Structures are given as structure tokens and as C-alpha cells.
A and B are shown apart, each in its own frame.
Chain A
Amino acid sequence: MSHGAGAADLHHEERPELQHHFETPEQQFESGKFGMWVFLATEILLFGGLFCAYAVYRALHPEVFVYASLFLDRVLGGINTLVLICSSFTMAWGVRAAQLGQRRLLIVLLGLTILGGLGFMGIKYVEYEHKWKAGLLWGTHYRSQADGHALHHGDAGTEGHGVAPDGHAEPDGHASEPGAAAEQAAPDPRAGLPPAAAAALPPTVPVPEGRTFGDGENASLIPPAAVGPVGVRPPEPAEDDDDLARRLRNEPRNVHLFFGIYFTMTGLHALHVIVGMILIGYVMARAIRGDFGPRYFTPVDIVGLYWHLVDLIWIFLFPLLYLIE
């Protein structure tokens, strides 16, 4: 600890913010900052565990990450990065304003920082809502994206009615045999689909009216899967088929795990953004009351450190989640 000799002659009476268990304001400031850095270290370890899960899963299943990256908008993510960087800048400037006793400027800058946090959360909400509607979710909530519905805005609500295979529409045992599969061609799954989604589907052979699939209580008029039974490659794409539709159809297994990681990491980060905004609001209220000046600005500094850490973590989350391939 670098204790200056100059501050030792200050008495507690002159410094109302100096707690009785500290000798000098400087000691108090240093202790507060040191405590904050230790806390930030634990935050880094907390996120480190999630980054570890990410690293292991990406190393073992790069194909899942490449596929899932089709559904992340890097422009929106980039804008969010810029928003957070700008709010980090206003926060750093705010600390400077507090140090220089510029009370009005400090209040304005803290307000701008909160606005930045709100803007970040707003964009995050747009992204989350799209993923929620398109079924780009964790675990069993994930919906197959092979028909490309997530990339066609406005289609999101109409999916899932016999087109996207969900839990119960899984093909039964004999349908996965190639021979049986050839006979079990589905009725035209394009019926009622928007042209863009229909174009993403492979060609199919019509089946007789009243044909059922599966047996026993699982029997259904709905064909087992849009792209053919499990284990059978989809037919060769038509000539006008585009690269994106082909990539969408070649859906790897367990894409839902990417979205589990995505929502855990961005969700925990978003929680930190919300906590940060509340803390900045508290500091702002104290700044309005006139608590801070060149001699005492520790809360501004420490909340600033927290806000910068939130920014720092996003700086790493962004390329890892949005800039795959």
C-alpha cells in the first residue's frame, strides 16, 4: 500500500466520510479499492467457469457453433458492444468529473451511463425475443432449424404445426430404416408455408390420402420429419437451392447446447448490467445530494470499476458468441 505522508495530519472531524477504523482517508480509499479488486477477481473466476464450458464444448463440437452462428446477428451484437463501450467511456469520464469536483457534469455522465445500460438491455431484449419465438433455446425447448424459419422474420409464429419436428413427431423405429423410409414419403410439407421456408425444404414424393405414420398410440397423419426420417440424408438440393438453405438443412446434433451456453453467459452478463445500473443510480442520487468531490469519490470510482468489468466481460463474450466463422 502506498500511503502518502501528507494525509496523516487530517482529522476525522474534517472528513465526515472517514470511518473510525481507518487512520487516514487514503488508507480507507486504498482498502475500498483493494476490496473491490478482490471482488472483481471472484467475478472473473465466476465467468471463467462459463468460459471454460464454452471452450470445452467448442473444442469438441465446432460444427454446433458454426451452425448456431447462423442465428446470431453480429451487427446487433456489434452495436451493443459500441453502446457498452460508450457507457464505459462516460463512466470513466464521470470518475474524472468527480475527482475534479464537477458535480453537474458527473450527474449528466452518470445519467448517460445508465442510458447506455438501458440501450444495451433493449437490444438484448430484441435478440432474446427473436430467439424465444424461433425456438433457439436451451435443452428440450430448442426447435429444429432445418426449415430455416428463424431467418425469415414474421414466420416465427406459424412454425411448429406439423412442419418442424418436435418431441412427439420423432420417427418411430422402422421409419429410420432406409427401405421403409423410401416408401414413407410425406404429403407435400410445403402446403401453407411461406415461399421462403418452402424453398428450404427438400423435394418430396406425395403420399396417398389417409396414410398414417407410426403405430399404436403414436399413429399420426403428420409425417415424422420435414427433411426425412433420421438416418436418411436429405435429397440432393435442387439447382436453385441456395447455400444458406443447404447449411440450414445440415443441422448437427445438439445445437441446443450452444444456446444453453449462450443464454447462461449473456443472461448472467445482463444480470450484471442490471445490477450495475442500480448501483450507478445510487451513486447518482448521492452525487445529486453533493456527497462527492476531489476529496471523496470512492463510491463513484468503485462502481465505475464494476461497470468497466461488465464491459470487459462483454468484450470477450462478443467475439466468442457472435463472430464464429
Chain B
Amino acid sequence: MTPDHASHADAHVHVVPMKVLVGVWLALVLLTVVTVAASWVDFGHLIGEPWLNLAGALGIAVIKGSLVVLYFMHLRYENPFHGFVLMIALAFVALLIGITLLDAETVQPNLIPDYAPALEAPAAPPGDAPPAP
């Protein structure tokens, strides 16, 4: 699956070899089947690692996405600046989600009591503290 860097009349034309296209397609199909099949396996009960389900599914999605971007979208053969634009967009999405999650986890449990059972609520809201003796 080495890129074909043959020179063409127009230097900007890079024809992706058919072998690469078919290989990427088959890999994407295979990974889809694997991710659906793996979703029936409960890693939480199996080996006590429930996060593996989400991490595994997302990891496969990242591999599939990379294949699409690199080969179907030609990024591997292309002006690297286009890849830079893509990475900037992804970096800002990561910032958005990361910082929002940090904030949500601190604020939300205090806003509505018993509203987010997955999170540990603070021991006692400041207003409800028992009066000092």
C-alpha cells in the first residue's frame, strides 16, 4: 500500500492506485463488522473494564476516519497545509469538548440536586450546612 508518486503531466494530479482504494474499502467494512460485533461483548462484566467498550468503539472509529481522510480524501498525497487545516479544526473541537466537560463536571451537580446520579454530589451544599455549635 505504498503511495504512487508517479509524475503526471499535471503535477497536482495524484491517482490513487486501485489496490489502495479496494484495500481501504475492505478495511473499513471489516472494522465496521468488528465494532458492531464487539459491542455485544460487555467488557465491564468480562474483565471489569467498562470503559473499554467506549474506548474500543471510538478507537476503531478513529482508525476508520483516518483511513477515509488519508486515502479517500487524498490527504496523504496532498498539500500538507490541507492536513493542517483539518488538524486545527479537530484541535478546536477537542478544546471545546474538553474544557466544557471540565466545567460541566464541577457545576452541574450543584445546580440541580440529585439530577446527575453518576456524579458524586458534594457532601452538603454550603447553604444547608448545619449551624456551628
Contact = CB atoms under 8 A, between A and B. Distances in A.
A82 B85 contact: no
Contact of B39 (A45, A61, A74): A74
Interface string B19-60: 001101100110011011001001000000000010001101
Contacts of A7: 10-11
A88 B79 contact: no
A297 to B, nearest CB: 8
Interface string A280-319: 0000000000000011000001001100110110011011
Interface residues of B, number: 57
Contact of A61 (B22, B64, B65, B116): B116
Nearest to A297: B13
Contacts of B115: 60
Contacts of B36: 74-75, 78, 323
A14 to B, nearest CB: 13
20 contacts: A7-B10, A7-B11, A26-B10, A34-B82, A40-B89, A41-B86, A41-B88, A52-B100, A56-B100, A59-B105, A85-B28, A86-B25, A92-B21, A95-B16, A95-B74, A99-B15, A294-B8, A295-B10, A308-B73, A319-B60
Contacts, number: 166
Given A48-B96, A89-B28, A312-B69, 13 more contacts: A4-B10, A7-B10, A33-B78, A41-B89, A78-B32, A86-B25, A89-B24, A99-B13, A295-B9, A308-B69, A312-B68, A315-B64, A323-B53
B10 A55 contact: no
Nearest to B13: A99
Contact of B72 (A1, A61, A74, A91): A91
Contacts of A319: 35, 39, 57-58, 60-61
A208 interface: no
Contact of A45 (B35, B68, B89, B118): B89
A56 B118 CA distance: 12
